[in-house]
Structure 1
Amino acid sequence: MLKSGAVSDTRENAQNSSESVKPISKPGGLNGLRRLEWILDPVSYLERTKTRTPDFFIEDSLGFGVGPVVITSHPEAMQYVLTRDRKTFNAPGEFNRILEPLIGGASVIMLGGDRHKERRQLITPAFHCERLEVYGQLICDLTDAIVSNLQPGETFSARTLTQQVSLQTIFQVVFGLGDSPRAKEIMSVLTDTVDRFGSPMSALMLFFNGLQKDWGPWSPWGRFVKLRQQLDELIYAEIRDRQAHPDSSRTDILSMLMAARTETGEALEEEELRDELMALLMAGHETTATAIAWAMYWIHKEPEVKAKLLAELDELGPDATPTAIAQLPYLSALCKETLRRSPVAMFTFPRVAQEPVEIMGHTFTPGTTLLGCIFLTHQREDLYPDPKAFRPERFLERKFSPYEFIPFGNGARRCVGEALAQYEMKLSVATMLAHYRFRLADDRPEAARRRGVTLAPARGVPMIFEGKR
């Protein structure tokens, strides 16, 4: 699969070019036990591997590829791989089949090659920076409306609250619907569906096909299948209503996708529309909700961070526009540090070598799967001294490359909703902190735990609402 040669890294290792490169090793233990640890306790698994193999390690038991799989956390290696998409490397959608029960097989996440490129070109305009201003006041108003329902002294889960904010935001952006009965039903069923995989044990169903058996409505997979059927019926009903009553004035993503045409003039089929909507709804609200909840945790765990953020928000004033809020330097640094310290995604999408490649002195044969580990990159001491500390100032003191700070991946499969996610995170955090007072419910530390294919706060960040500022 690979061999070691001379180090050719001109920036870091030119002085050591004559030294041999250490062979890439494999984490110890049985494959089956490693896979269980990866599913049930991914943070322990990743932190254990980095002590033995900080830059690269071989792992063929996680289900990321058919052939050899090499995982790296080194920015130079990730840059090499992610900047050669569709040339040296391929990013086939079939490696994402673990998500197919949730989002179907016809969305941009599942496609590869030219079909992926074409579909991405259809979706990207909906998330262009110019469109963010349209969503800005909506995000602030939704956040304020949801938080205002809390009562002083009430204990609540920040993760549950931020899920409501993020779901309603992405729902209005994607569907352009407000409080219609169907909209409420879709949101309710969608929440129940994703919560089916909210714990490490329930996530086992995604990783082992043998557990995906419908033994009726009382079985775990059977309950999920029933919810998915309900969700499909609601989404297809909305699509067909739009087809029967076209409205050219609508600017939501569903309407844009229905009006979009491929280079050959073809419209997306109903199944393709359904799968794109599911991918956007699932990925678009789950990950952002988790990131905002983590931000609330760190802000209230670190008094100095909270004081600096409030000072910046107060200086801007109560009549600040969403655009002005999103440009605040400390708020931006705080959100970046949240995504670094508590990354939601653990890996970039897998890439498969199409030809022999040499990376940092290691040669990889065609068919080797290379995977960038976002979690470990964000914990590297050489990039982020004292990486366990929460220090937004890191992002004010220096600029990190897109391969040193990489919460949304990179290359041809970089998260299409990245700009909206960051914008929503900044505005939601700013709205909550500028207008309301909160505190953590207790002093117990919050830890990262698997939630489906992502990481989320294990306890949901329990907080107490103290009222308006």
Structure 2
Amino acid sequence: MISKPRFPDGSPAPQWLQKIQYAQNSIAYMDTAAQRYGDIFNAPVIGDRDVVLFISNPQALGRIFANDTRQFITPPNQHMQPLVGDYSIFTLSGSRHRRERKLLMPPFHGERMQTYGRSICELVDKAMSSLSVGTRFSARTLAQEISLEVILKVVFGVDREDRFDRLKSLFVKLTDSLQSPSIAGLIFFPSLQKDWGVRSPWGYLRHLQRQVSELVYAQISARRNQSHAPGSDILSLLISARDETGQPMSDVELHDELITLLLAGQDTTATAIAWALYGIHRHPQVGEKLLVELDRLGKAPDPTTILRLPYLTAVCHETLRLFPVAVLTVPREVKEPVELMGYQLEPGTRLYGCIYLTHQRPDLYPEPKLFQPERFLEQQFSPYEFLPFGGGARRCIGEALASFEMKLVVATVLSRYRLALADRSPEHPVRRGVTFAPARGVQMILKEKF
């Protein structure tokens, strides 16, 4: 007699109650489950499946990521399709996903990062110039301003002032709308996504999307038809890219990938920057050590030199470890019967790598609740132990640019401005759509300009 597959344990609470618990306080839900059930547990809180496994064991994650496309597949992200389109790297799978990823990778690496770096430093000073000494401000809001302008200039290559201002205004409205419970909730219920006009929640979202798309297509057309040599912005490089058969990306493919880069890169990078400024200023010894490292570079250092600073890198890594913007990896699905951590998993079983719980493992990170950048100077962690950008074939495509922007913004702010926390009470992460951000936005005061 063949025994039935055994599934990992999980909370005995009804699925509907677990979903509420996870939505209200995901961190507490995961902490409690890990304490009770260990490195793998059933958490049927995403979608309508009875079995959804959360995994925080590095060896198991290594097996999953190393066997992408063989024993495990990545199902298309149907929830994101209404937001990013049919041709986004989020919604493609198989050979179409591999083609798109190969086309997208080159612009995010190489010598062109030097040009991006100069633009990022200029945008930091532009944003900070709007503040006067003594001003109280939200670090996250300021970082959003910087990050959005980075997207528009570095990625989209927008140089027309009227189009820049219009896109910026619409993007803010679009990303803000996705934080509204009445709109964000509809993402998980396709049957309720009805456009009843601009005054209805989904109709308002669609109204904004149409306006954004019109301007994005205009920018694509402008870049295709430019008479001078292609620019160094990512859109120009994507237009020039060709796949293995010599085919370029179509306008609709470019549109969907640009929208993906906006939604996946702008808000997340801003959140990471805000958390870094929080950690640095809550722990003065970290800021002092970082300033010593930055001071050694002298005035106007080369951006790529900043990128390689060991302690700055450690501070950014510790920020992303302790406060991951995304707490779960992109889901995987079992392709064929497989044994994992002593369990026999059948095809169709949905798995999530739990970034948050992996980063909280005391066997990897002693005293994991403490902000200690030095741990990244003392030890090198594997991609299955430290995974703020996910892993495997679905690792974040914009990781290089996001890390570069985070380091440059933090370094520029610390070198040229003196800040202080306006509120000494601890910040804590709260859900913003599918990501997690500081609840109060990290309130700070500008003390001095240099």
> How far does residue 338 in structure 1 lie from its aligned partner after superposition?
0.2
Identify the match of residue 71 of structure 2 among 71, 88, 91. Answer: 88
Q: Which moved more, 1:420-429 or 1:247-256?
A: 247-256
Q: Is the 8 A contact 2:182 2:201 kept in 1?
A: no
Question: Residue 464 of structure 1: CA displacement?
Answer: 1.0
Aligned to 1:60: 44
Residue 35 (structure 1) aligned to one of 2, 10, 19: 19
Q: 1:337: Cα distance to partner?
A: 0.3
Alpha carbons of 1:308 and 1:28: their partners in 2 closer, same or farther (altered >3 Å)? Answer: farther
- CA shift, 1:274, in A, is 0.9
The alignment status of 1:327 with 2:308, answered yes or no, reads: yes
Measured in 2, the distance between the counterparts of 1:379 and 1:200 equals 29
Closer, same or farther in 2 for the Cα pair 1:219/1:169, shift >3 Å?
Answer: same
2:197 to 197, 202, 216: 216
Give the structure 1 partner of residue 78 of structure 2: 97
Question: Which residue in the other structure is 1:9 paired with?
Answer: none
Query: Hey, what does 1:228 align to over in structure 2?
Result: 209
Residue 3 of structure 1: how far off its partner (Å): 3.9
Moved more, 429-438 or 138-147: 138-147
Contact 1:2–1:362 (CA<8 Å) still a contact in 2? no
Check the 8 A contact 1:71/1:372 in 2, yes or no. Answer: yes
Supply the AA of the counterpart residue of 1:379: Q
Query: Cα distance, 1:107 vs. partner?
Result: 0.8
Displacement of 1:43 in angstroms is: 1.9
Matched, 1:448 2:448: no
Aligned to 1:392: 373
TM-score for the superposition, normalised by structure 2: 0.94
Question: Deviation of residue 444 (structure 1)?
Answer: 2.3
> Could you tell me how far 1:289 is from its partner in structure 2?
0.7
* 3-state SS in 1 of match to 2:419: strand
Separation in structure 2 between the aligned mates of residue 309 and residue 162 of structure 1, nearest angstrom: 19
Query: Is 1:49 paired with 2:33?
Result: yes
1:106-134 deviation digits (Å, cap 9, x = unpaired): 11111000000011001101112433222
What's 2:392 paired with? Answer: 411
Q: Trace 1:417-428 onto structure 2 (pairs within 5 A).
A: 417-428=398-409
Q: Which amino acid aligns with 2:68?
A: D
Q: Is 1:73 matched up with 2:56?
A: yes
Q: Number of aligned residue pairs: give it.
A: 448
For the Cα contact (< 8 Å) 2:230–2:237, is it kept in 1? Answer: no
Identity %: 48
Tell me which residue corresponds to 2:176.
195
Q: Structure 1's 247 and 283: CA in aligned 2 closer, same or farther, altered over 3 A?
A: farther
Q: 2:292 aligns with which of 297, 300, 311?
A: 311
Quote the Cα distance in structure 1 between the aligned partners of 2:5 and 2:392: 26
Q: Which whole-Å deviations, capped at 9, do the CAs of 1:16-60 have from their partners, x for residues lacking one?
A: xxxxxxx61022312112112323322222222212122001123
In the alignment, which residue of structure 2 is the partner of 1:8? none
After TM superposition, the structure 1 stretch with the greater mean CA deviation from structure 2, 197-206 or 412-421, is: 197-206
Which of 329, 332, 339 is matched with 2:320 structurally? 339
TM superposition shift of 1:267 = 3.0
Say whether the 8 Å CA contact 1:205–1:211 is kept in structure 2.
Answer: yes
**Cα distance change, pair 181–48 in 1 and its aligned pair in 2 (3 A):** same
How far did residue 202 of structure 1 move? Answer: 5.3
The Cα offsets for residues 240-297 of structure 1, whole Å up to 9 and x where unpaired, read as 3334445443232222222333333333222211101100111121111110011011
- Unaligned runs of 5+ residues in structure 1 are 5-22
Greater mean alpha carbon deviation, residues 412-421 or residues 312-321: 312-321
Counterpart CA distance in 2 for 1:144 and 1:2 is: 62
8 Å contact kept, 1:39–1:204: no
Q: Deviations over 1:283-318 (max 9, x none)?
A: 121111110011011111111111111122122222
CA distance in 2, matches of 1:221, 1:355: 38
Counting only pairs closer than 5 Å after superposition, residues 19-30 of structure 1 correspond to structure 2 as 24-30=8-14
Structure 1 distance, partners of 2:378, 2:226, is 53
Rounded Cα–Cα distance in structure 2 between residues aligned with 1:197 and 1:90: 28
Amino acid aligned to 1:30: P
- Aligned pairs (5 A) from 1:193-272: 193-198=174-179, 203-209=184-190, 211-245=192-226, 247-272=228-253
Summarize the Cα distance change of 1:197–1:28 in structure 2 as closer, same or farther, 3 Å threshold. farther
RMSD of the TM alignment (CA)?
A: 2.0
Larger deviation, residues 238-247 vs 166-175: 238-247
Partner of 1:431 in structure 2? 412
